[in-house]
Amino acid sequence: MSSTHIFNVEMTCEGCSGAVERVLNRLKGQGVDNVSISLPEQKVSVTSTLNADQLLDVIKKTGKKTTYVGTQ
């Protein structure tokens, strides 16, 4: 069952949000259903069957400081 996980990610520009979106979109069809990024709020919402720790590891590969907020 899919859940929507919310993360705070330090993103300062479109390039930052693009990097986060790219790494998550690679998992579409492998557990990630939808990715929504709010650059002004520095929030990333991921609808996925993967757990929060797996998604956190993927986002951290971008080098951005990331914290897990919870599910929506």
What secondary structure letter does DSSP report for 46?
A: E
- State whether residue 40 is helix, strand or coil: coil
What CATH code is carried by the domain that includes residue 8? 3.30.70.100
- For position 33, what pLDDT does the model report? 97
Query: What is the reported pTM?
Result: 0.94
pLDDT at 28 over 90: yes
Q: Which range marks the domain in which residue 12 is found?
A: 3-71
What secondary structure letter does DSSP report for 41?
A: T
Task: Please state the rounded mean pLDDT for residues 23-51.
Answer: 97
Give 72's pLDDT tier (boundaries 50, 70, 90). confident
Q: How many domains does the chain have?
A: 1
Mean predicted lDDT score pLDDT of the chain: 96
Beta-bridge partners for 34: 47
Phi, psi angles (nearest 5°) of residue 22: -60, -45
pLDDT tens track for 42-57: 999 999 999 999 999 9
In terms of Cα–Cα distance, which of 50, 51, 55, 49 is closest to 24? 55
